[in-house]
């Protein structure tokens, strides 16, 4: 929600639950039932979703990889967190069509800045017209290419250190642990790094009653187990493992 009027209009429109068509991301949850997740989406998320976010979600759902998009409840949470933090300068690693990026851009003030990194500009170009129409494209500096060299370049300059309020990491899972070392230098003390998919379909701790996951779903299980262990043992951060969507770990830089 951009401002008080938008929020009031959305609240007025949300007097009833909203039934949306099924989206490919609707199974990315660790809640005990799909019905409960649908309840949250239909009661608290979809009715309050800005029209531009809905438009971009609809575009993204038609993409053959639509399931990789960040979920609507998660981006709602990220937008709230950014506002609570008064975030102004952020980074996003893993843009895809720009769904979480648009949520971030809407949450930042008009002079906010987002450094957005992705190896694929084609997918971003699907969302860009919606981002432009929403009037927030001026906040985004999109760079096509792997994130690591950009991070290395940023940390090589003293003036970039400690300047980011928030970083959202939602890209190549095997590099999260390497991104972490660089990002911790770039985020300010008190700033937050959020790592997505840290429960990896629940496979980090399978339970005997779970349906076995196909082998392709297990490809990053060890990676996430190692990341979660490393983050929990890192004295430079305070952390919170959220079970929203596929698991989101918030790390607040302490020093």
Ligand X SMILES: C[S@@+](CC[C@H](N)C(=O)[O-])C[C@H]1O[C@@H](n2cnc3c(N)ncnc32)[C@H](O)[C@@H]1O
For ligand X, the binding residues (CB under 6 A) are 68-70, 93-97, 99-100, 117-120, 123, 146-147, 170-172
Which helix H or strand E contains 8, and what residues bound it?
helix 4-13
Residue 200 Cβ, how far from ligand X at the closest point, in Å?
12
- Report how far apart, in Å, the C-alpha atoms of 246 and of each of 25, 96, 166, 167, 202 are: 10, 17, 20, 18, 8
**Centroid of chain to Cα 107:** 13
DSSP 20-78: ----GGGG---SS-HHHHHHHIIIIIGGGS-HHHHHHHHHHHTSTTGGGSPPHHHHHHH
Residue 99 Cβ, how far from ligand X at the closest point, in Å?
4
Q: Which is nearer to ligand X, 17 or 125 (CB)?
A: 125
Residue 134 Cβ, how far from ligand X at the closest point, in Å?
15
Q: Which is nearer to ligand X, 37 or 220 (CB)?
A: 220
CA distance 122 to 220: 25
* Residues contacting residue 182 through CB under 8 Å, at least 6 positions apart: 148, 151, 152, 154, 155
Q: Which is nearer to ligand X, 93 or 136 (CB)?
A: 93
Q: Which among 146, 235, 156, 239 has a CA at the least distance from the CA of 195?
A: 239
CA distance 180 to 195: 9
Q: Which is nearer to ligand X, 69 or 250 (CB)?
A: 69
Q: Which is nearer to ligand X, 133 or 178 (CB)?
A: 178
Q: Which is nearer to ligand X, 51 or 145 (CB)?
A: 145
């Amino acid at each position: 929600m951009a401002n008080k009027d938008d929020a009031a209009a959305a609240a007025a429109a949300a007097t009833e639950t909203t039934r949306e068509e099924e989206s490919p991301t609707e199974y990315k949850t660790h809640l005990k039932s799909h019905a409960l997740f649908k309840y949250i989406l239909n009661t608290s998320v979809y009715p309050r979703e800005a029209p531009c976010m809905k438009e971009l979600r609809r575009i993204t759902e038609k993409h053959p990889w639509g399931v990789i998009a960040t979920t609507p409840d998660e981006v709602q949470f990220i937008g709230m967190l950014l506002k609570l933090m008064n975030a102004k300068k952020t980074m996003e690693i893993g843009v895809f069509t720009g769904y979480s990026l648009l949520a971030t851009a809407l949450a930042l003030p008009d002079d906010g800045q987002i450094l957005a990194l992705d190896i694929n500009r084609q997918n971003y170009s699907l969302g860009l017209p919606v981002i432009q129409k929403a009037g927030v494209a001026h906040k985004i500096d999109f760079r096509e290419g792997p994130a690591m060299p950009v991070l290395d370049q940023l940390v090589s300059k003293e003036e970039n250190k400690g300047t980011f309020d928030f970083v959202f990491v939602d890209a190549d899972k095997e590099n999260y642990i390497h991104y972490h070392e660089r990002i911790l230098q770039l985020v300010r003390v008190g700033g937050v790094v959020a790592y997505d998919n840290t429960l990896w379909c629940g496979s980090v701790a399978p339970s005997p009653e779970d349906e076995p996951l196909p082998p392709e779903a297990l490809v990053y299980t060890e990676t996430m187990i190692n990341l979660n262990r490393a983050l929990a043992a890192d004295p430079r951060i305070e952390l919170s493992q959220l079970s929203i969507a596929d698991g989101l770990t918030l790390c607040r830089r302490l020093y």
